[in-house]
Amino acid sequence: MKRYFLIFALFIFAASTFAQTPAVIKLGFVDSEIILKQLPEAIKAQGELDALIQKWNAQLDSMGQTFQEAYSNYQKQAATMKEAQKNEIQQKLVAQQQSVEEFRRSKFAQGTGEIYQKQEELLKPVKDKVLKTIETVAKEEGMQFVFDKTEQAAILLYADSAYEITYKVLDKLKRGK
């Protein structure tokens, strides 16, 4: 629904701009998912990222399995243990579980985990190249705006600076008009 609203708003903007100027506004769009699935550099970067994720998932699985085995052994022997020994093993189990959770957080936490940092590191040069090429093609085709057509929404990737009104808006805001 948001996507259709954004596209509708874009057409209203284009129509109002057209009414104010005799120039024709030329819009374009790309599907970045298609580009990233077919561009060799992006495929390579995604492959490296997938391999890293697989490695870390294997480590996490191994740590989880080790914890489960230790916990299972504790449960089997708990009835015959002295209280001091139970407490000691319980503390070790808690520390082991915290270690597993810390590993998971450090690698996979949304936005802050190593996987997101690695993704940015590997894909930033690819994204920069794609954006530069989009800008080149947009200028060659005489387009003022280019959007990315994604499942969630349309995202502006390129805008001709002739249509920039940020400082006009800021000036009006500062003057109180």
Q: What average pLDDT does this structure show over 153-174?
A: 82
Give the pLDDT band of residue 150 (cuts 50, 70, 90): confident
Is the pLDDT reported for residue 58 higher than 70? yes
Give the pLDDT band of residue 112 (cuts 50, 70, 90): confident
Residue 134 to residue 143: CA distance in whole angstroms: 10
Residue 159 to residue 130: CA distance in whole angstroms: 15
Residue 97 to residue 100: CA distance in whole angstroms: 5
Cβ–Cβ under 8 Å, residues 159 and 41: no
Is the pLDDT reported for residue 4 higher than 50? no
Give the model confidence (pLDDT) of 5-47 as tens digits.
Answer: 444 444 445 555 544 555 788 999 998 888 988 999 999 999 9
Give the model confidence (pLDDT) of 66-86 as tens digits.
Answer: 999 999 999 999 889 999 999
As a whole number of Å, the end-to-end CA separation of the chain is 33
Which residues lie closer than 8 Å to 29 by C-beta, 6 or more apart?
Answer: 146, 147, 148, 149, 154
pLDDT of residue 16: 52
Q: What average pLDDT does this structure show over 119-143?
A: 92
pLDDT of residue 120: 93
Distance of CA 98 to the CA centre of its chain: 27
Residue 90 to residue 83: CA distance in whole angstroms: 10
Is the pLDDT reported for residue 51 higher than 90? yes
The token pair at 115 is 């996987």
Of 46, 49, 32, which is closest to residue 129 (Cα–Cα)? 32
Give the pLDDT band of residue 119 (cuts 50, 70, 90): very high
Distance of CA 54 to the CA centre of its chain: 18
Domain ranges of the chain: 2-175
